[in-house]
Amino acid sequence: MANVSAVIAAGERTMARPVALVRDYGLTLAIAAIVFLVAYDDGGFGESTRDMLAIALWWAIILGVALGLVPLVRAPLAALVSGGLLGAFALLTLLSVVWAVDAAGAYAEFTRVALYVAVFVLAVLGSARRNVGRWADGLALGIVAVTIVALVSRFYPGTFPDPDLPKFLPAGATRLAFPVGYWNGLAILVALAIPLLLRVAVVARNPAVRALGVTPLPAIAATIYLASSRTGVATALVGTLVFLLLTRRRWPAAAAITVAGTGSVAAILALLSRDELVNGPLDGAAAASQGKSAALIIAGVCVLVGLIYGVGWKAARQAPQPSPIVGWILVAVAVVAAIAIIAAAHPIRRFDQFRDAGSQTTDPRELQSHLLSAAGNGRWQLWQSAVDEFETRPAVGRGAGSYEAWWLQHGSLPLFVKDAHSLYLETLGELGIVGFLLLVSSFIAGVAAALKRLFRSDDADRATAAALIGTFVAFAVAASADWMWELAIVPLVAFTCLGLATGPATALATRLRPVRTGEGLPFRARVAQYGGGIALVVGGWLLICAIAVPFLAGARLEASSKAAAKGNFVAAVRAALDARAIQPWSAEPDLQLALIEERAGEYRKARRSIVRAISHDSVDWRLWLVKSRLEAKLGAVKAAKRSSNRAKALNPRSPLFKV
């Protein structure tokens, strides 16, 4: 009988290992797939994509809690504070629907924040100390896949569908943006992988796996260069420096950075000698030929970097580490060198150039000149306008999503922008000091708690925490200078890292107390056991319903547009009316009705519809322009003139009104 039991136990152990491997590596592959698919879909910028993802994530949370797939442990205080502040920011965004001129725009911003809250909650609930590395590896793997696709799209034209971006922004035609759809977004996204890859390079036990941590880094550098993104460069530097400062394994990290940095320089030098590939024309035979050779060189550099680091680590792992004095000397030399470089760059002159609205690169197609330029491309003016908006209503702002209309009416440059290119200043203008403090406090509280944990962790755990903190801090810096908040894939990676850094995955083992089970528990213990789960299920269901509103309304509007394009006005009107019934506070359904009725020649009905649309969003100049056109068709010349003047007042720098 004992022999039978031993055989059964051995069989169970044999089966348990494959199951554990599938579970762990399946998690890594699932996370990598989600990151890649969202990035490939224009970075999740589209509202329908964003809402669909948010609904899917909240359903995953509900099912995980309701079916017991998520272990019920008391959430660490760090996650509760950081997540609670982010949730409060989401609530304020929703409340701003009341005072925002464009209620639908404010509501869309609320669903955006609801997505980021879902990402944070899912990372907290679905992670544990045993699988935190799998989460980090999944994020890194997904971003590396995006890097490969981006470079292949440049080196082998025609491999992927042609992007539409150059048609709308010809000046950026040569800047690598595929598949994310925005060059700075692509560069910042791939830069976020650097701390996560450095973690692999310093914690993996197998030299081959360590080598894999540095292998993609030259390709990432080439991607940032082809995107010609100064914000991407800054993001990469911040993430690298934060990881190097926070990890205890600084010598292996420094070695990995040195080897990968050398390989990155070699990859960029290979691109510098291929002008057509970098600066165009990209559809010529020369660019195609240069792309093939560049692909081989950069792939070779990546493999060589991995081999050098892997073999070097294996050879040197038994050698004693240098004295701390040597490290401090190197730090001092680096600081002096950095100060000398900054001084030689004439920072005051470059800052003046950054503020000068007329300062541009000589040729926007020249990627190298753009990278070295200090021109702000209007960012200083965008930031000033956000501050001006804040000063009009400093407490709670003019409502989420209000910056676009504010800039068109009060901005100082003839640019059409939706965002202030700074998350913090835009939040200050749209949601006032209250919104600003909630958002910034959420970030600071999360990073502070993660740092406290980091300093009490052992080497391997500390390296993981350093990578998570480095990635999130790099995102926070990038969000201060570009509209990364709106490109969903970038915050998705960042808030996953924040959830891992503040949740059970990195908490000290002694602080994780499973909720007690059993009958006869006091009422307070039962609340602790079931209250959090019930709150998540109910709150998640309410959020799904809330997010479904614009998602369903958008689907009906799309159906209306398709029906109108086919000349089926009855179906088009019916679909537009459905959208209005689903989202009655939005101007879009009434605008759609007005356009359909105009095409049908029913100008009076169309005018009534556009008036109703304006009642929902009185600062959208396009609605007033449509109203002016309809009134002109009705022969109401004076009314048409008044509506046209109102449109011009809301967008005074538009070329439409220069006649």
Number of structural domains found in the chain: 3
Residue 517 has pLDDT above 50, yes or no: no
pLDDT interval class at 174 (50, 70, 90): confident
Residues 204 and 222 in one domain: yes
Residues 51 and 36 in one domain: no
Question: Residue 252, preceding bond cis, omega within 30 degrees?
Answer: no
**Does residue 249 belong to any structural domain of this protein?**
yes
**Among residues 301, 321, 341, which one ends one of the domains?**
321
Residues 35 and 53 in one domain: no
N-term to C-term CA, the chain: 97
Residues 61 and 22 in one domain: no
Query: What's the confidence (pLDDT) of residue 71?
Result: 66
Token couple for 26: 């399946």
Give, in order, the Cα–Cα distances in Å from 30 to each of 33, 58, 126, 139, 180. Answer: 5, 17, 13, 10, 19
**Among residues 303, 321, 339, which one ends one of the domains?**
321
Residues 230 and 111 in one domain: no
pLDDT interval class at 28 (50, 70, 90): very high
**Among residues 300, 321, 342, which one ends one of the domains?**
321
Residues 118 and 142 in one domain: no
Q: What is the pLDDT of residues 268-316, one digit of tens each?
A: 999 998 888 888 778 788 888 899 999 999 999 999 999 999 888 877 7
Q: What is the pLDDT of residues 31-51, one digit of tens each?
A: 999 999 999 999 999 999 999
Stated pTM of the model: 0.91
CA-nearest of 81, 159, 107, 187 to 482 is: 187
Residues 4 and 92 in one domain: no
What's the whole-number average pLDDT of the chain?
87
Domain that holds residue 139: 1-40+135-321
**Does residue 352 belong to any structural domain of this protein?**
no
DSSP 345-407: T-HHHHHHHHH-TT---S-TT-HHHHHH----TTHHHHHHHHHHHHHHSTTT-S-TT-HHHHH
CATH number at residue 635: 1.25.40.10
Low-confidence winner among 154-168, 180-194, 351-365 (lowest mean pLDDT): 351-365
**Does residue 331 belong to any structural domain of this protein?**
no
Task: Tell me the percentage of the chain whose pLDDT exceeds 70.
Answer: 88
69 burial type by CB count under 10 A (0-12 exposed, 13-18 middle, 19+ buried): exposed
**Does residue 552 belong to any structural domain of this protein?**
no
Residues 182 and 309 in one domain: yes
Question: Residue 652, preceding bond cis, omega within 30 degrees?
Answer: no
Residues 410 and 268 in one domain: no
Residues 96 and 141 in one domain: no
**Does residue 364 belong to any structural domain of this protein?**
no
**Does residue 370 belong to any structural domain of this protein?**
no
Residue 20 has pLDDT above 70, yes or no: no
Residues 146 and 119 in one domain: no
**Does residue 542 belong to any structural domain of this protein?**
no
Q: For the chain, what percentages of helix, strand and coil (3-state, to nearest 5) are there?
A: 75, 0, 25
Residues 33 and 53 in one domain: no
Q: Which of 16-30, 246-260, 484-498 has the highest mean pLDDT?
A: 484-498
**Does residue 498 belong to any structural domain of this protein?**
yes
Query: What's the confidence (pLDDT) of residue 190?
Result: 97
d(CA 234, CA 188): 9
